A and B are shown apart, each in its own frame.
Chain A
Amino acid sequence: MTSGPNHAAKTGSALAISNVSKVFNKGNSNEVTALSDVNLDVHTGEFISLIGPSGCGKSTLLRVIGDLTGFDSGSVQVSGKSPADARRERLYGIAFQQAALFDWRSVSKNIELPLELAGWDKSRREARSAELLDMVQLSEFGTHRPWELSGGMQQRVAIARSLAVDPPLLLMDEPFGALDEMTRERMQNELLRIRQETGKTIVFVTHSIPEAVYLSNRVVVMSPRPGRITAEISVDLGERNELTRESDHFFHSVTAVREALRLHDTSGSNMSAHRGDI
């Protein structure tokens, strides 16, 4: 297990998780240890992916970071603050597998939602949403309704919304999971471009090994029962381009992640997955 506390010391810590545990239904017969002694440091500007089979706690970990659920022990620091304070101060943006846009709002108004709640005035909101629409290349669609857009376009709107208040951290919970393969690859490139432009720190949950490798600086492999981090694999692909996915380097990294996943899978392979993704 290679954790990277040294990175954090060098460039500032975006996220520091130490010894975090979380148990669902504590004390009941259906008690589940969702997270067990999780340690993770993410430095500013890093792109990390959380990968693992259903029930490994990757979504739970993301929700702990975003203060959408609590944890039982350990400590979590988001930009040096508790998750609750970070949420109150809007230090992160989040995108889910569902775009979860509001049908009764235009695309622009959907992007402006976080700004409205943060108390921005109208002219600033409109300027910002125009800027973000431009960034996700949907400038012509501001006045459209979400249901007039394709799945990929809706997800781009959701990403624009998550960037609205310009938070330093982006949490993404399988945002491309419902898209077809072609759209998915295009979206991955879009995300990398946006990241390049904005310099965000990104924590990305995914089921897909190639997706994790293609996007990340570091792939964090998790395994279930109890949910824990079992490996961290640094990926150094340099500048991504159309040849990256066919390079030897890419295949080596994919193989490394696959083997890390398999290593911990064999121990529990005869146990059928009896729970959903927690």
Chain B
Amino acid sequence: MNSKLSYVWPPILIAALFLGAWQLLVVIQDLKPFLLPAPSLIATEFSNGAMLMWSAAFYTGTTAFLGLLFGTVAGLFMALLAQRFITVDKLVAPLAAGLATVPIIALTPILNNMFNITSRTPRVLVTAIIVLFPIFVNVTRGLMQVNPVQLELMRSLNAAPRTTLRVLRIPNAIPFFFTGLKIAAPLAVIAALVAEYFGGPQQGLGSRIASAAANTAYGRAWAYVLAAIIMGLIFYLTIIAIEKCVTPRTTKTVKTT
């Protein structure tokens, strides 16, 4: 218990010190909100607009969630295909590097024209494409980077490739899948937010941040940013919680012979 508390206190203390210093800086230097609003102002705006914050976060959160879901499914499917047809593990790394350089968010205006701009569809699509890559790359790696001795064991047991996939490759890929998901979840939130900057329905967090900033309501803009941060954290922590449930690897004491 004591040791658990010692993990919790330092970050809280640092956060409190940081916010205190920020507040002090704004007050002493008399900084204008368009330069840097005080934490107290952001907090006031946040609590005053709590309902609006919630509905905006819910809209963008739904986009992020749908994108994460479809992107994950597509990424898993592609990884299974890749495992089937790419036999050399070495191909995965350059493929991953190549895909990482594609500026997917820049596709948004194009997708807005291709699909109905007044719908959520283009935003979900952009989010899904962004999510797809980390899932695909990590899961493919997990399916391919299998202990060669274990593969040999499967061969000695006369296992068909499909059986080896089910019994060895997929369980081996699960930690890799969660690594991919932990990268993908915050990316999904960012993508869903930024996709709103290119027009379309205005009820999301991204739209609200843009319009608040345009209307010189800087405190409110920052309050929406705070809501976006909280949403990203919720996504991330949910993934961690699921991972903990699926892979209970609490290390116990090692027994001796």
**Minimum distance in angstroms from B124 CB to a CB of chain A:** 33
Of B68-76, B177-185, B235-243, B248-256, the segment with at least 4 beta carbons within 8 Å of chain A is B248-256
Give 7 nearest A-B pairs by CB, closest first.
Answer: A152-B257, A100-B149, A104-B171, A94-B156, A150-B257, A98-B149, A117-B157
Give the residues in chain A near B158, CB-CB below 8 Å. Answer: 87-88, 90, 117
Inter-subunit contact A100/B147 (CB<8 Å): yes
> Which chain B residue lies CB-closest to A63?
B152
Contacts between chains A and B (CB distance < 8 A), count: 62
Q: With A102-B168, A104-B174, A117-B163 given, is the CB distance from A96 to B254 under 8 Å?
A: no
Inter-subunit contact A68/B257 (CB<8 Å): no
**Bound CA–CA A114/B157 (angstroms):** 6
Inter-subunit contact A66/B156 (CB<8 Å): yes
Q: Which residues of B contact A (CB under 8 A)?
A: 147, 149-150, 152-153, 155-159, 163, 167-168, 171, 174, 247, 251-257
Q: Is A183 interfacial (CB 8 A cutoff)?
A: yes
Inter-subunit contact B255/A150 (CB<8 Å): yes
Inter-subunit contact B255/A98 (CB<8 Å): no
**Minimum distance in angstroms from A48 CB to a CB of chain B:** 19
Inter-subunit contact B157/A98 (CB<8 Å): no
Give the residues in chain A near B157, CB-CB below 8 Å. Answer: 90, 113-114, 117-118
> Which chain A residue lies CB-closest to B151?
A100
Give the residues in chain B near A152, CB-CB below 8 Å. Answer: 257
Give the residues in chain A near B153, CB-CB below 8 Å. Answer: 94, 96, 100
**Minimum distance in angstroms from A180 CB to a CB of chain B:** 10
Of A16-24, A38-46, A141-149, the segment with at least 4 beta carbons within 8 Å of chain B is A141-149
> Which chain A residue lies CB-closest to B168?
A102
Inter-subunit contact A150/B149 (CB<8 Å): no
**Minimum distance in angstroms from A64 CB to a CB of chain B:** 13
Q: With A113-B167, A150-B257, A183-B257 given, is the CB distance from A100 to B156 under 8 Å?
A: no
**Minimum distance in angstroms from B176 CB to a CB of chain A:** 13
Give the residues in chain B near A153, CB-CB below 8 Å. Answer: 255, 257
- The 8 A CB mask of A150-181 against B (1 = contact, 0 = none) is 11110000000000000000000000000000
28 sampled A-B residue pairs with Cβ under 8 A: A66-B156, A68-B155, A68-B156, A87-B155, A90-B158, A96-B149, A96-B152, A100-B150, A102-B150, A102-B168, A102-B171, A104-B171, A104-B247, A116-B167, A117-B167, A141-B255, A144-B255, A147-B254, A148-B251, A148-B253, A148-B255, A150-B254, A150-B255, A151-B257, A153-B255, A153-B257, A183-B257, A186-B257
**Minimum distance in angstroms from B254 CB to a CB of chain A:** 6
- The 8 A CB mask of A75-92 against B (1 = contact, 0 = none) is 000000000000110101
**Bound CA–CA A54/B163 (angstroms):** 34
Inter-subunit contact B251/A147 (CB<8 Å): yes
**Minimum distance in angstroms from B222 CB to a CB of chain A:** 45
Size category of the binding interface on chain A: 20 to 34
**Minimum distance in angstroms from A7 CB to a CB of chain B:** 26
Give the residues in chain A near B159, CB-CB below 8 Å. Answer: 117
**Minimum distance in angstroms from A90 CB to a CB of chain B:** 6
Give the residues in chain B near A144, CB-CB below 8 Å. Answer: 255
**Minimum distance in angstroms from A256 CB to a CB of chain B:** 32
**Bound CA–CA A88/B155 (angstroms):** 9
**Bound CA–CA A66/B149 (angstroms):** 13
Interface centre among B152, B159, B247 (most CB of A within 10 A): B152
**Bound CA–CA A114/B167 (angstroms):** 11
Given A88-B158, A92-B156, A94-B156, 7 more pairs with CB closer than 8 A: A68-B156, A90-B157, A98-B149, A102-B171, A116-B167, A148-B255, A153-B257
A1-26 interface with B by 8 A CB criterion: none
Give the residues in chain A near B152, CB-CB below 8 Å. Answer: 68, 94, 96
Give the residues in chain B near A149, CB-CB below 8 Å. Answer: 254-255
**Bound CA–CA A153/B167 (angstroms):** 23
> Which chain B residue lies CB-closest to A95?
B153
**Minimum distance in angstroms from A192 CB to a CB of chain B:** 17
**Bound CA–CA A271/B62 (angstroms):** 69
